[in-house]
Structures are given as C-alpha cells and as structure tokens.
Structure 1
Amino acid sequence: MPSQASTTSDAPPHLKPAPYVHHFDTYSLVRDLSKGGFTDDQSITVMKAVRGRLHNNLDLAKHSLISKSDVENESYLFQAACSELQSSLQTARTSEMQTQRASRTQLQHETDILSQRLNQELAGLKDDIKGMFNDHKMTTREHQRSIDTSVQELNYKITVSLNSDGKSEIEGLRWILTRRAAFAIAISAAMIIAFLKYNSMYKARKTEEAQKPKEPPAAEEVAEPRSVRDAALQSAAIIPEAHISESLG
C-alpha cells in the first residue's frame, strides 16, 4: 500500500492540498526563545501553541467575516435594490404629484365655482337688503307725510277754531263797545238836551224876572222851578246808573 506522501505527490495539481502558509517566522521565534533561556523542546512547544492559537483565530475570522466577493455581491445587490427603490420612489412621487396636481386643479375649480356662487348670493342679498332699505325708506316717508298731514290738519283746525273764537269774541266785544258808545252818546245827548233846556228855562225866567216889577216871589213859583230842577237832576243820575249796569252786564 503506497504511503500518503507518495499519493499526494502523484495527485493532479488541482487536487493537491494548498501548501501550508506560515503567518510568522517560526524558526526565528524558536531561536529567540532558545536564546531567552528556553530549551529547544520548550521553544518548539511555545511556537506550536502560538501557531495553533493564530490558526484558530484565523479560522474564526474566516467563519465570522465575509469575503470580498460576498461583499461585492452584497454591494451590487444593495445598489440594485437602492436603484429599484429610487426608481419606485420616483415613480410613486411622480404619480403622487400628478394626483395632487389633479386634486389641486379640481379643488381650484370647485373653489372658483363656490366663489362665483358666493358672489352671486352676496349680490342677491345686497339687492334684497337694498330693496328692503328702499321699502323701509318709502314707508318712513309715507309715515312722515301722514304725520305732517295730521299736524297740518291739526294746525288748520286749531287756527280755524282760534279764528272763529277770536272773531266771535271780537264781534261780541265790538257789539259791547258799540252798545256802550251808543249809550254814552245817548246819555251825553240827553245831558246836553237837559242842560240846554235848563239853560233856556233859566234864561227865560231871568228875562221874565227882569221884565216884571220887583215883587216878592210867591212860594209856589219858587217851589215849582226847584221841583223841575230836582227832577232833571234825578233823570240825569238815573241814566248813568243804567249805563254802568249795562256795561257791567
């Protein structure tokens, strides 16, 4: 049976195991340890321990870390996913922008319609308020005219009443003054006539006395003129009293 070394040497190149890779200089380490006071066996043992420890750490690193090809593959996949995500986001953003633009256009159209309707309603309300204000103004004017007419009628009635009362009072006062003036004129005329009669009688008596001889006058003749004079004075006194009572009445 051939040995393992001959089998390995006879194997094809692509089936041969990879040569052992030394990560540090083992000979220099053994020699330095021997110079430091270690024996050859101890130095070799320490070197093998360091090599085994390093080999274990490298195996752990190989199992836990990712290779460059894997990193490149992951990077490519990540970039492809990012590109796809970017394109999908851009597409979604474009569609969302178009949707929002359409919504904004529709909202703008609805806003214009609402503003036009609001303006129409405001114009209608303005016309209604203006009509109501004009109606109220006309009603107020008619009420004011009716009040003015009532005041004018009342003033006319008061004026007519005052004029009629004043005219009646003036007529009554005029009649009273006229009657008083007539009574005064009558009394004055009566007094003048009485005075003239008395004066004429007195002058006639004086003339008769002057023509007659001087004789003692009889008692009857003296009493008669005195009685005539007293009657004239009484009539003159009665007439003013009647005038005063008439004026007071």
Structure 2
Amino acid sequence: MALMHQCQKYNLALCFHLQKFQQSNFAQDFLMHKFHHFVDTQAAVFKLSKCGLTRGQSAAIARTAQSLLIAKTQRMRNSLVAAAELDKAQFFRDKQAHELRSELEILRRNETALLRTELESISRALDALTQKSSEKIASLKSDVTFDLNNHKTERRALSTRIDLRIQEIHHKLTVELSTLKTRLESVKMEATQRAIWVALVTFGAVLISHEIQ
C-alpha cells in the first residue's frame, strides 16, 4: 500500500514538473538545443527502499519513471516542434501574403497612375482634335461663304454684262432698223419719183404721138 502511494506521489510530481516545464520560458531553449532531463535515480531508489521495496524493485521503478519522463519529454518536444513549424509556416505565409499584398498594391498604384496618365493624354488629344476640327469647320465655312459670295458677285456681274450687252444689241438693232427704215423710205421715194417720171415721160410720148398723127 505504501509502495502504491509512493508511486502515485512520484507520478504526480513527474506530471507537475512536466506541466511547469511546458509553461516555462525554456520552451524555446528546449526546441533550439538538445535537452535531456535526468532523473535522480539514486535518490528515488533510496526513498523507495525506505518504503519496504528491495533495491532491485526500487531501481526498476526509478528506471521506469525515467523512461516515462523521457517519453513524455520526447512527445512534448515533438508537439512543440510541430507547433513551432506551424507557427513558422504561418509566419512565412503571412509574410508572403503581406509581400503579395504590397506588390499588388504597388501594381495597382502603378496601373492607376498609368491609366490616369493615358486618360489625361487621350483627353488632351481629344481636346486638340476638337479644337482642330472646330478650326477646320470654321475655315471651311468661311471658304464656302467666300466662294458663295464670289459666285453671287460673279453672277451679278455676269447678269449686268448680259443686260448691258442686250441693251447694246437692242440699241444697235434700233439704229440699224431706223437706218434701214430711212433707206427704205428713201428707196420708196426714189421709186415713186421714178414711177412718176416714167408716167410723165410715157404720157408725154403718147401726147406727142397723137399730135403727130
């Protein structure tokens, strides 16, 4: 009964020391360095011998306790190493995610600046094209108006020249008709005079011929 009580007491002390070690600040040192927890087997054998156990039994219990402590220490080391590896992997993932976010942010800013520059360039080009188009349209409108005015002026000048030419021709025709009329009147008068002279001569000849008979 005393042996059972002593083993339970020793096991509780072992678990207490393991829990205190897990909560201590030596976990990092435990991970970074090769750590061995040695059990004072001589003191354990001495205390167990006082409880009525033989030296062989006490030594076997001490070695068993030492083996259990080493096994639990190894499991704790493995769990701490796994947790540290997970933390390390999480740290690298977070670092890579942060770097990726930073790169994406830089790319986004660069793309935004590039797009803004391109939009400003396109806007300036559109403004210049609009201004040039407006100037071209105004120039074409001015040219068309000028051509229309010239055409109207030329048409009025042509109409004036045609009117003057018509008046000139009409005047010439009037003069020529008047001249022709005068000539016709003169010819008519000459013909009348000739007819009268012919009639007089004929009448005189007839009279003379009657007198002679």
> Residue type of the partner of 2:164?
W
Deviation per CA, 1:39-79: give whole Å up to 9, x if none. Answer: xxxxxxxxxxxxxxxxxxxxxxxxxxxxxxxxxxxxx9999
The reply on whether 1:144 has 2:116 as its aligned counterpart is no
The reply on whether 1:125 has 2:122 as its aligned counterpart is no
> Residue type of the partner of 1:115?
L
The reply on whether 1:104 has 2:102 as its aligned counterpart is no
Aligned partner of 2:18 in structure 1 is none
Aligned partner of 1:89 in structure 2 is 78
Matching residue within 165, 169, 191 for 1:176: 165
The reply on whether 1:202 has 2:191 as its aligned counterpart is yes
> Residue type of the partner of 2:88?
T
In the TM superposition, 1:27-66 aligns within 5 A as: none
Number of residues paired by the alignment?
Answer: 143
The separation in 2 between residues aligned to 1:163 and 1:82, in whole angstroms, is 117
> Residue type of the partner of 1:149?
A
The separation in 2 between residues aligned to 1:121 and 1:181, in whole angstroms, is 87
Change (3 A) 1:196 1:78: farther
Aligned partner of 1:191 in structure 2 is 180
RMSD: 3.5
Q: CA deviation at 1:84?
A: 4.4
Change (3 A) 1:79 1:196: farther
The separation in 1 between residues aligned to 2:81 and 2:150, in whole angstroms, is 99
SS in 2 for 1:214: helix
The separation in 2 between residues aligned to 1:198 and 1:157, in whole angstroms, is 59
Q: CA deviation at 1:195?
A: 0.6
The separation in 2 between residues aligned to 1:135 and 1:193, in whole angstroms, is 85
Higher relative contact order (CA 8 A, sep 6+): 2
Matching residue within 157, 163, 178 for 2:146: 157
Larger radius of gyration: 1
Runs of 5+ unmatched residues, structure 2: 1-64, 206-213
The separation in 2 between residues aligned to 1:111 and 1:95, in whole angstroms, is 24
Aligned partner of 1:228 in structure 2 is none
The separation in 2 between residues aligned to 1:134 and 1:208, in whole angstroms, is 107
The separation in 1 between residues aligned to 2:163 and 2:71, in whole angstroms, is 130
The separation in 2 between residues aligned to 1:174 and 1:81, in whole angstroms, is 134
> Residue type of the partner of 1:171?
T
The separation in 2 between residues aligned to 1:140 and 1:79, in whole angstroms, is 89
Identity of aligned residues (%): 6
Change (3 A) 1:82 1:185: farther
The separation in 1 between residues aligned to 2:162 and 2:143, in whole angstroms, is 27
> Residue type of the partner of 1:168?
A
SS in 1 for 2:203: coil
Give the ranges of 4+ consecutive aligned residues of structure 1 lying more than 6 Å apart after TM superposition: 76-82
The separation in 2 between residues aligned to 1:204 and 1:82, in whole angstroms, is 175
